[in-house]
Amino acid sequence: MTKANHPPRPEGIRSGRGFPLALFLISSFGICCISLLLATCSIGWKLFFDYFRVPLVFLLNFIPVLVIQLVFLCLFNRLWLSSLLTGLIIIGASIGNSYKVKLRGETFAFDDIGTIGDGLRIASNYDLRPGTVIILSVICFAVLLAA
């Protein structure tokens, strides 16, 4: 059979030319949920589920993840790369926040960015082994990227 006898390839996701909106939203939702889980791991499950009881609270946590991923998607035009970079930023900050809450009882603030060097110098004085929630969150993020 020659190429002329084949029906035309459909445009869209199968031909690699479409935008998989569902995958984009699922990826953003997954990263947001992992971030919320890490934010509440030292407090308890009740607070984690409270994020979903009030839709506006969840939406206010979901929109920044969505915007960051959209910016990376516009820059690189690769969904897997935008998901990876967004996850590294959001989940990395969430892991840092969970350690700060565990060690100091306060959440990560913008002012803390300037003191990261001091924190790294004194980090050897603390037990910084990752907990079960952090390990499971990293595994869930890896599964999310692989899907």
Convert the pLDDT of each residue in 15-59 to its tens digit: 455 568 889 999 999 999 999 999 887 777 888 888 899 899 999
Whether residue 98 is predicted with pLDDT greater than 90 in this model: the reply is: no
Q: Where are the alpha helices (DSSP H) in the chain?
A: 21-40, 45-53, 55-76, 79-104, 116-122, 132-146
Whether residue 92 is predicted with pLDDT greater than 50 in this model: the reply is: yes
Query: How high is the pLDDT of residue 133?
Result: 87
- Count each helix (H run) and each strand (E run) in the chain, helices first: 6, 0
Q: What percentage of the chain reaches a pLDDT higher than 90?
A: 44
The predicted model scores a pTM of: 0.77
Query: How high is the pLDDT of residue 18?
Result: 57
- How far apart, in Å, are the Cα atoms of 88 and each of 15, 55, 82, 94? 29, 25, 10, 10
Six-digit token string for 48:
């984690």
